């Protein structure tokens, strides 16, 4: 009769380490399947591209374009399948070195270089140059007149005497430079034709990469909107927008402010038509 542990006691312990925990992609995919949704349906509901949904469910976050966008996609997909995104975001932070600093939007789109905007003429500099030219001309005339002979001065005096008692003809006023056209205001947007959709995108809280297309898919703008700048887009049918950092953006659609509470760092894909924003 032997004394010792039975074979069952020598079985290896079950692996309960973090390595046994399901991956982020597996959790999202299982929840989607449990909700009875296809990848196409989840893409339509969240506006996250189908290729990115497939990549995230395979735990490949490179197509997201950076940690900020990956976190935003994880949060969006989790909410769409009725999951609490906090544990998944904590798991992502643990697996990818903690919460990163926000990734600038511009390097993510190096394939399509940002074209510099065409700026209007600098009327302030033009006015300063005109004033300098006038002062120089007056000074040159005064110096030249002071160097004339006595006969010139006598003729000038006689001309002044002869003109005494006559009404002086006012000198013609120099035309002022045309003032630069102001940027479209909210009232101008409100007065836009009713048969068009007008969207104004402004960045009062920080900069954000934005993309705008018309109903034919033609690119209206693709670049970085710096803090304090704004862009206005108009189309006969609809405007499609992508906001790289929606929390920094304010939107006015057909003269009305969109009151959606966009989160900082969140990527939003939006479409507006002539009837937006709809009430109720």
Alpha helices in the chain (DSSP H): 24-34, 39-46, 50-57, 67-80, 85-95, 123-146, 150-162, 186-190
Provide the 3-class DSSP secondary structure of residue 202.
strand
What is the pLDDT confidence band of residue 60, given thresholds at 50, 70 and 90?
very high
Residue 49 has pLDDT above 50, yes or no: yes
Residue 247 has pLDDT above 70, yes or no: yes
- Report how many helices (DSSP H) and strands (DSSP E) the chain contains, helices first: 8, 8
> Which one has a higher pLDDT value, 21 or 7?
21
Q: Which of 7-16, 209-218, 227-236, 243-252 has the lowest mean pLDDT?
A: 7-16
User: pTM of the entire structure?
Assistant: 0.34
Q: Which of 32-36, 94-98, 135-139, 193-197 has the lowest mean pLDDT?
A: 94-98
Other beta carbons within 10 angstroms of residue 276's beta carbon come to 16
- The predicted pLDDT at position 96 comes to 84
Are 126 and 244 in contact by the 8 Å Cβ rule? The answer is: no
> Which one has a higher pLDDT value, 80 or 117?
80
What is the pLDDT confidence band of residue 173, given thresholds at 50, 70 and 90?
low
Average the pLDDT over 102-120 and give the result: 47
Residue 228 has pLDDT above 50, yes or no: yes
- Going by their DSSP bridges, the two strands 238-243 and 268-273 should be labelled as antiparallel
Q: Which of 28-37, 83-92, 163-172, 242-251 has the lowest mean pLDDT?
A: 163-172
Backbone angles phi, psi at 32, to 5 degrees: -65, -45
Residues 45, 47, 53, 54, CA torsion sign:
positive
Cα of 162 vs its chain's centroid, Å: 69
What is the pLDDT confidence band of residue 2, given thresholds at 50, 70 and 90?
very low
- Tell me, what DSSP letter sits at residue 206? S
- The predicted pLDDT at position 166 comes to 47
E strand spans, 169-276: 197-202, 208-213, 219-225, 230-235, 238-243, 250-253, 256-257, 268-273
Residue 222 has pLDDT above 50, yes or no: yes
- The predicted pLDDT at position 80 comes to 92
Q: Which residues contact 150 (CB under 8 A, 6 or more apart)?
A: none
Tokens of 29: 């995919």
What is the pLDDT confidence band of residue 251, given thresholds at 50, 70 and 90?
confident
> Which one has a higher pLDDT value, 92 or 245?
92
Average the pLDDT over 86-108 and give the result: 70
Average the pLDDT over 176-200 and give the result: 63
């Amino acid at each position: 009769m032997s004394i010792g542990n039975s074979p069952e006691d020598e079985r290896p312990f079950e692996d309960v380490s973090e390595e046994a925990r399901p991956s982020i992609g597996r959790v999202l995919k299982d929840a989607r399947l449990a909700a009875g949704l296809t990848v196409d349906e989840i893409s339509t509901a969240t506006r996250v591209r189908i290729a990115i949904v497939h990549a995230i469910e395979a735990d490949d976050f490179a197509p997201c374009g950076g940690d900020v966008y990956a976190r935003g996609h994880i949060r969006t997909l989790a909410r769409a399948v009725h999951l609490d995104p906090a544990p998944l975001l904590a798991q992502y932070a643990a697996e990818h070195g903690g919460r990163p600093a926000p990734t600038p939007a511009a390097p993510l789109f190096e394939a399509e270089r940002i074209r510099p905007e065409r700026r209007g003429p600098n009327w302030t500099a033009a006015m300063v140059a005109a004033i300098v030219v006038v002062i120089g001309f007056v000074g040159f005339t005064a110096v030249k007149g002071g160097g004339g002979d006595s006969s010139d001065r006598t003729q000038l005096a006689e001309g002044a005497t002869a003109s005494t008692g006559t009404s002086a003809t006012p000198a013609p006023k120099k035309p002022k430079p045309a003032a630069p056209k102001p940027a479209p205001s909210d009232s101008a947007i409100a007065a836009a034709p009713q048969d068009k959709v007008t969207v104004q995108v402004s960045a009062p809280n920080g900069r954000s990469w934005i993309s705008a297309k018309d109903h034919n898919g033609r690119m209206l703008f693709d670049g970085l909107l710096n803090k304090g700048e704004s862009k206005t887009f108009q189309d006969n049918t609809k405007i499609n927008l992508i906001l790289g950092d929606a929390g920094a953006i304010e939107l006015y659609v057909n003269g009305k402010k969109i009151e959606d509470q966009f989160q900082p760092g969140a990527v939003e894909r939006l479409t507006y038509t002539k009837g937006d924003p709809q009430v109720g």
